[in-house]
Amino acid sequence: GAGVSQSPSNKVTEKGKDVELRCDPISGHTALYWYRQSLGQGLEFLIYFQGNSAPDKSGLPSDRFSAERTGGSVSTLTIQRTQQEDSAVYLCASSPATGPNSPLHFGNGTRLTVT
């Protein structure tokens, strides 16, 4: 079946511009996560959505970062006034349930380059 879909696959933007990254989770998956993968570093948790509950935003690095999930499905990660240090691969993952027994299914990511 279809996996997690992310768009665009690559995005180049100028410093100071806003960007939107999109994630289509696997159909029926209630949990959705955003992670950031910077060069030479591991994956950094950003934000988590579960159903209609308030999201866990504890990983967002600054108030320039925000995300929403409409209708419990598609999610958009928005970065305002982009900085060069925002350059990274942004990975979205979904899961059919909460808890450690339900592994994450990752998309191929969006590679963001801020010039």
Partner 1 sequence: AQSVTQPDIHITVSEGASLELRCNYSYGATPYLFWYVQSPGQGLQLLLKYFSGDTLVQGIKGFEAEFKRSQSSFNLRKPSVHWSDAAEYFCAVGARVLTGGGNKLTFGTGTQLKVEL
Site residues for partner 1 per CB under 8 A: 3-4, 31, 33, 35, 40-43, 45, 48, 50-51, 53-56, 58, 91, 93, 95, 98-109
* Helix, strand and coil percent figures for the chain, each rounded to 5: 5, 45, 50
Minimum CB distance to partner 1 smaller for 14 or for 41: 41
Encoding tokens for residue 3?
């996996």
Minimum distance between the CB of residue 44 and partner 1, rounded to whole angstroms? 8
Coil vs helix vs strand at 84:
helix
The DSSP bridge partners found for residue 111 are 10, 89
Contact status, residue 89 vs residue 35, Cβ threshold 8 Å: no
Q: Judged by CB, which is closer to partner 1: 81, or 97?
A: 97
Give me the least distance between CB of 67 and partner 1, in Å please.
14
Q: How far is the CB of 92 from partner 1 (least distance, A)?
A: 8
